Structure formats: structure tokens, C-alpha cells
Amino acid sequence: MKNVSLVRKYALAFTNYFGQPLSDQQRKNVQECSVFFVAHEEFSRALELPGRGKQEKEIALNALCDKFNLDEKFKDLCASLVMKSRISLLPSILQKILVTDYDVKGMEEFVITSSHEIDSSAQEKIKNFIASNAPTTPLCSFRVDPAILSGIRIQSQTRLWERSIEKELRTIYVNLTNQGMI
């Protein structure tokens, strides 16, 4: 729980201090850097080793920021995290910065998962449904997952709408389990 609070505080401090929303390119770069940290956990672990000097760590982080075209404000964030031995929080902080940036812009990412490919006409209807039920501008991505079983799932960080046979089966299973029948 403490880490969640720290992540939120760092992300909000970053957003408030630097003030301007991220450009689309900056968002893409931040996302790629976050994915790198998740895929290479050993990198952040190595940065937390006490035997490594702060200058060596800053050089590595500056090179990483340069690799992902992250500007000075991200280098400052990384330096602050290294000083406090909290660099392992960076991927979560970057994700929270992205979410906070969308909040500031009044936007929200939605992933629409269906059991089959959805044509453009149906996609527009789904986007209209989301727009009429969410007070934000929806950014939608569509994917196919046969496990949905003849249905659709619309999900964001804070919202979920689902109509599927899979959901019905889960509900039945939970009810039977709660009644001690399974």
C-alpha cells in the first residue's frame, strides 16, 4: 500500500511541477520506457545496488532517457528516485503519469475485447456508447479473444462493461460456490 501511495505522490508531483500535458510522441516514449523497465527488471535492481555510485547510476539513467527520447524532466525524476533508492518504482510512476496526463486532458483509454472481429460500423456504435456513458473522451483499441464466448468487454482503468456468455458462466459458478453447491 505504501508503494501505491508513493507512486501516486511522485506522479502527481511530476505532473504538477512540469505542468504541461505530454505530447503524443512523449506519451509513446514514456510507454516504451515503462515497457523496457518491466521487461528488464534486472536493470532497476542493478541501479539499487549500494555498491554502485550515484554518478554511475545517473549516467546509466541519462543514457536510458536518451535512448527513449525522454527530456530533462524525466532525467530529474530518475535522479530523484535513485537518490531515494526508489528506482524500482519508476515503471509504475511512468504508468501513473500517463493515466494522470489523460485525466488532465479529459481522455480515457478503453480496450474493447470481443469474441470475433468487429466491423467499423459496430466499432462506431461502441465508441458512441462509451462517449455517452463516460464523461471523458474515449481512446479505443479493439482486440479479439475467443475466450469471451460470444460477447464483448469494454474496459478502462476505472470502468468495465461486459456482456458475454463467459461472464454469465462466471456468475453462475460464483453463486453455486457461495451456496455451497460446488
Whether residues 112 and 88 fall in one domain = no
**How many residues comprise the chain?**
182
Q: How far is CA 170 from the centre of its chain?
A: 26
Domain with 84 in it:
2-103
Whether residues 69 and 159 fall in one domain = no
In three-state secondary structure terms, 112 is: strand
Q: Which pLDDT band holds residue 34 (cuts at 50, 70, 90)?
A: confident
Q: Bridge-partner residues for 111, per DSSP? A: 141, 155
Q: Give kind and range of the element (H or E) at residue 152.
A: strand 152-155
Whether residues 87 and 121 fall in one domain = no
Residue (of 51, 60, 56, 46) closest to 88 by Cα position: 46
Q: What is the pLDDT of residues 78-90, one digit of tens each?
A: 888 888 888 888 8
What CATH number did the domain enclosing 27 receive? Answer: 1.10.520
Average pLDDT, the chain: 86
Whether residues 6 and 38 fall in one domain = yes
What CATH number did the domain enclosing 118 receive? Answer: 3.40.30
Residue 60 φ/ψ region, left for φ over 0, alpha for ψ in the -120 to 50 degree band, beta for the rest: alpha
- End-to-end C-alpha distance for the chain, whole angstroms: 34
Whether residues 56 and 69 fall in one domain = yes
Q: What is the pLDDT of residues 134-180, one digit of tens each?
A: 888 888 999 999 888 788 999 987 889 988 888 888 888 898 899 98
Q: Which pLDDT band holds residue 66 (cuts at 50, 70, 90)?
A: very high
Whether residues 10 and 72 fall in one domain = yes
Q: What is the pLDDT of residues 109-147, one digit of tens each?
A: 899 999 889 999 999 999 999 999 988 888 899 999 988
Into how many domains does the chain fold? 2
pLDDT of residue 140: 92
141 close to 111: Cβ distance less than 8 angstroms:
yes
132 close to 123: Cβ distance less than 8 angstroms:
no
pLDDT of residue 2: 59
